[in-house]
Structure 1
Amino acid sequence: MFDFGMVDWVIVIFCAMAIGLSKSGLPNMVILVVTMMMFVFPARESVGILLPMLLVGDLFAVTYYRRSVVWKHLISLIPWVLIGVFIGYFVLFAINSEQLEPLIGMIVLAMIGIHVMRSKFGEKFNQRLPKSMGFTALIGILGGFTTMIGNAAGGIMAIYLLVKGLPKKEFVGTGAWFFLFVNVVKFPLYLHLGLITGESLIFNSWMIPAIVIGALIGVKILPLIPQKVFQTLVLVLAAIGGINLLF
């Protein structure tokens, strides 16, 4: 697993730093990370290797935003998310890496599409979203499924939080606690599927410094970077990666 070339090491270290960045205010970075990790690892292995790294980032995020969470919005969503997670578990149990790659590619492109729609229509997009229990159930199941299959539920969760009309800080903080919870739930399931091993956890431990550095960079430097330009670049690269997974 660790017999990497120089390019592979550059990719995985960049991905680790990008996870830190994503947890400090640039969630779209995770979409790029999901696609880039599959340039180094097979699809199934990449999903399992990525999860503990995301958990490290989640711990940083909930520490930083520990008081900025609206629990009632999480509690109403969690039962539906768990249904989606377990559906994803059985799908992962049944398919191999070759079958998983195009599925993750479609999820990545769908998340990018959601972001583009939000950016293009702004408040009109938010106003047209339903606010019923059925909508919450749909979002929860889709979010649970996509995060279980490919660690890529950021766009779906963003829609849910937008519907709730949360201020920016509560938006980020509530999302951080959501992903910490769901990633903890996923951990034993990934273990059971053999996607997380002792060897992969050793690799994850090597990546912790890069994740922390990325998070610190995000907190200090990210506000100084033109966010629209940066996000556009990230999404274009992620789209290229997602399309590559389809073929």
Structure 2
Amino acid sequence: MLELELYQWVIAAVCAGLIGFSKLGVPGSGIMVVPMLAIILPARQSTGFLLPILCLADIMAIYFWRKHVQWQQLIKLIPWSILGIIAGYYYLDIVSDAILMPLIGTITLLLIAVTTWRNSRLGADRPIPTIWWFAALMGVLAGSTSMLANAAGPIMTIYLLAMQLDKRDFVGTSAWFFWIINMVKVPFSMDLGLISPASLLVNLILIPCIIIGGILGYKLVHVVPQKLFNTLVTVLAVVTSIYLCLKAF
């Protein structure tokens, strides 16, 4: 098992709880997980450490939101996302964090800006994007950024908001999407040596924290109005993107 000090266990437990809260509640609310984990683990190792926790939280989210999923959205996204994962796998050892993180953040901010401009110009009656390349672009971006840095959250937020999903369908569809692509990522991560028996044991110990955070997030979604939910996930996507941009400094 990984040798962790008490304060490191506390940080890991809080991170697991935040992931559960984000997966079942407000996507993007786990923004502090990556910088917090950087305190106790190297960036490359933390990517593999996070993956099993994400998969467990995804399973929990799927169970709680099992009646709320838009399969047609997943069918459009998943094939392109798998292509993105494969591309990310081959580029993982080539692209440094100093280049990758700001690039992801900048792309996401541009997408948010375009989406916000489109929404303000067209108003409440704006059409849902149906052109094939929109799903293809977002799928490839989500898959590659997920494989490279577990940073696909803002991309999926933009896509699902553009689809104008109800908050429950938003969380449920997001849960299925991330569970599928995270499971696809597992063999790639194992091949790269990012997942080990020692890290898996720590992941298992943290399961209660994931459950507690997840239940809190699930309860919150039921009381947050749709408009506030959309605003929250958009703001968190912006904050996450800015954080990624600042990683270069």
- Is the shorter-chain TM-score for this pair beyond 0.5, marking a shared fold? yes
- Provide the residue aligned with 2:186 in structure 1: 187
Q: Deviations over 1:49-86 (max 9, x none)?
A: 00100011101110011121111111121111111110
- Displacement, 1:18? 0.1
SS at structure 1 position matched to 2:32: helix
- Provide the residue aligned with 1:124 in structure 2: 120
Q: Deviations over 1:103-127 (max 9, x none)?
A: 2354356557766876x66943884
- Displacement, 1:225? 8.3
Partner residue of 2:97 out of 78, 96, 100: 100
- Displacement, 1:26? 1.2
Letter paired with 2:208: P
**Cα pair 2:129 2:163 within 8 Å, conserved:** no
- Displacement, 1:172? 1.6
**Cα pair 1:35 1:238 within 8 Å, conserved:** no
Q: Distance in 2 between matches of 1:192 and 1:222?
A: 37
Q: Which runs of 5+ in 2 are unaligned?
A: none
* TM-score, length basis structure 2: 0.82
- Provide the residue aligned with 1:72 in structure 2: 72
Q: Which runs of 5+ in 1 are unaligned?
A: none
- Displacement, 1:35? 2.9
Q: Deviations over 1:124-147 (max 9, x none)?
A: 388498531111111111011111
- Provide the residue aligned with 1:59 in structure 2: 59
> What pairs up with 1:108-187 in 2 under 5 angstroms?
108=105, 111=108, 123-124=119-120, 127=126, 130-187=129-186
Identity over aligned residues, as a percent? Answer: 39
SS at structure 1 position matched to 2:206: helix
- Displacement, 1:2? 3.0
Letter paired with 2:161: L
Q: Distance in 2 between matches of 1:41 and 1:73?
A: 35
Q: Distance in 2 between matches of 1:142 and 1:114?
A: 11
Shift in CA distance, 60/122, structure 1 to aligned 2, threshold 3 Å: farther
- Provide the residue aligned with 1:18 in structure 2: 18
- Displacement, 1:3? 3.1
- Provide the residue aligned with 2:247 in structure 1: 245
- Displacement, 1:101? 5.3
Instruction: Name whichever of 127-136 and 167-176 sits farther off.
Output: 127-136
Q: Distance in 2 between matches of 1:76 and 1:171?
A: 15
Shift in CA distance, 165/235, structure 1 to aligned 2, threshold 3 Å: closer
- Displacement, 1:195? 0.5
Q: Distance in 2 between matches of 1:23 and 1:189?
A: 22
Instruction: Name whichever of 58-67 and 151-160 sits farther off.
Output: 151-160
Cα RMSD of the aligned pairs, angstroms, is 3.2
Q: Deviations over 1:169-225 (max 9, x none)?
A: 212211111111111100111011111111111111111111111111222356668
